[in-house]
Amino acid sequence: MSRVLLLVPARTYRAADFLAAASRMGLDLVVGSDGALPLGGLPVVHVSPADLPGSADRLMAAAGACAAVVAADTPMLALAATVAGRMGLPHNPVPAVLATMDKAEQRRRWAAARVAQPAFRIVPAAAPGDLLRQAAAQVGFPCVVKAVSLSASQGVLRADDQAAAAAAARRIRRVLAAAGRPGAEPLIVEEYLPGPELSIDGLLSAGRLTVTAIFDKPETPQGSTFEETMLITPSRLPGRMLAAAVVTAGRAVRALGLTRGPIHAELRVDPRGGRARPAMLELAARSIGGLCSRALRFGGGASLEELVLANALGRPAAPRCRVTRPSGVLMLPVPRPGVLRAVEGRAAAAAVPGITGLTITIPAGQRVRPLPDGDRYLGFVFAEGGTCEEVQQALAAARRQLHVVIR
């Protein structure tokens, strides 16, 4: 039985799905976490992502010989790479992992490698407001102002003029302070790219990228905020465009120095200049976030988490990496701030033909904030169908049945 060290952050949607995948695969699991999680009665080694050496020492002492180290979500990526390196297992370089968690460093590395991406400027925290407005004018309007360390559309705002860019920066600073981020963190001001958005999930093995899923975003957000809603796979974009997007994502991966494990890439197809081309927005050294992976089923009924674990164990994933039928997920953003009282209409939404699951992830009674200030979705709705159009229609019909009550 293969032993796997699974590192689970205290705040993640992913723990249960990784535990279920490990159980189906018959793996001997050792868990490290920075919080008290309901992990099926498994003993948990306490770690802190902020203390890589000390956490690695504790894990080395407790885990014994492991065949793989897997991070369930972003906060554990650097620790997973550190421990895998100590165990002599194939792993991503820690600097490469850290680069995926810093949007400014991503932009710099992609610029050096001539990877297609928006024009950008990095504005230091201590810079005067005139410098930020100047940066916005240089990349052109509309532009996007974003934090370098946040994810899932948190701390990302569109600005259509210099005054809006300055206001966006002030708001993002408040988001960063509420999230406990360092006050010296810079901001990015980047060119706004029109056109359809897509995401690519894949697995790296010795630097080679195997695509597991490409999602269309039929409701591509245009701003001023960028919360995602609907994802549909397989993509309906032309084959040549998808091939170009995969090539662009592969170049972005190499520029960051990643060689192993899952990746999740976000791109837009820029239609300007008479020739549409894919351009990188962001890339993470993990699989798709939230509960979105539940929309995917591969050969033999395997989940995406099973493919991630198999990849970490060095098992070939390519024969199983085809999604069995069109599917999708609807993410439910928080519509306004307040206290969540109820999400009504769930039974009717779940009864819509094609809907395969509905999960509300925030309990009633909790205070909620919409993006870009908050960092959570209300829940996820899943669908399958004979065509992508059927999937999209089912998700839209389910959404019409739901009514969110916030006081």
For the chain, give the mean pLDDT.
93
In 180-276, where do the E strands start and end? 187-191, 197-205, 208-216, 230-233, 261-270
Q: Which CATH number fits domain 326-407: 1.20.1070.10, 3.90.1170.30, 3.30.465.10, 2.60.40.10?
A: 3.90.1170.30
CATH class of 100-115+193-324: alpha beta
pTM of the model: 0.95
Unique residue bearing structure tokens 């120095």: 257
Do residues 299 and 320 lie in contact, with contact meaning Cβ atoms separated by under 8 Å? yes
What is the tens place of the pLDDT at every residue in 50-91? Answer: 999 999 999 999 999 999 999 999 999 999 999 999 999 999
- pLDDT tens digit sequence for 190-213: 999 999 999 999 999 999 999 999
Q: What is the C-alpha to C-alpha distance for residues 213 and 326, in angstroms, rounded to an integer?
A: 11
What are the sequence ranges of the domains in the chain? 3-91, 100-115+193-324, 119-191, 326-407
Instruction: Output the CA–CA distances (angstroms, integers) from residue 216 to 69, 234, 276, 394, in the order listed.
Output: 31, 7, 16, 16
CA distances from residue 322 to 176, 210, 283, 328 in whole angstroms, order as listed: 39, 10, 22, 15
CATH for 119-191?
3.30.1490.20
Q: Is the pLDDT at 317 greater than 80, yes or no?
A: no
Angle between helix axes 129-139 and 162-178 (nearest 10 degrees) is: 120
User: How would you write 24-55 as a 3-class SS string?
Assistant: HHCCEEEEEECCCCCCCCCCEEECCCCCHHHH
CATH of the structural domain 3-91, one choice from 3.10.290.10, 3.40.50.20, 3.40.50.1370, 3.40.50.2000: 3.40.50.20
pLDDT recorded at residue 273 = 78
Other residues' Cβ atoms within 10 Å of the Cβ of residue 310:
18
Percent composition of the chain: helix, strand, coil (DSSP 3-state, to 5): 35, 25, 40
Q: Where are the alpha helices (DSSP H) in 152-224?
A: 162-178
Determine how many CB atoms are found less than 10 A away from the CB of residue 344: 13
Q: What is the pLDDT of residue 36?
A: 64
pLDDT of 109 above 90: yes
Q: What is the pLDDT of residues 135-148, one digit of tens each?
A: 999 999 999 999 99
> What mean pLDDT do residues 151-179 have?
93
With a pLDDT cut of 70, the percent of the chain lying above it is: 98
Please, which pLDDT band fits residue 180 given cuts at 50, 70 and 90? Answer: confident
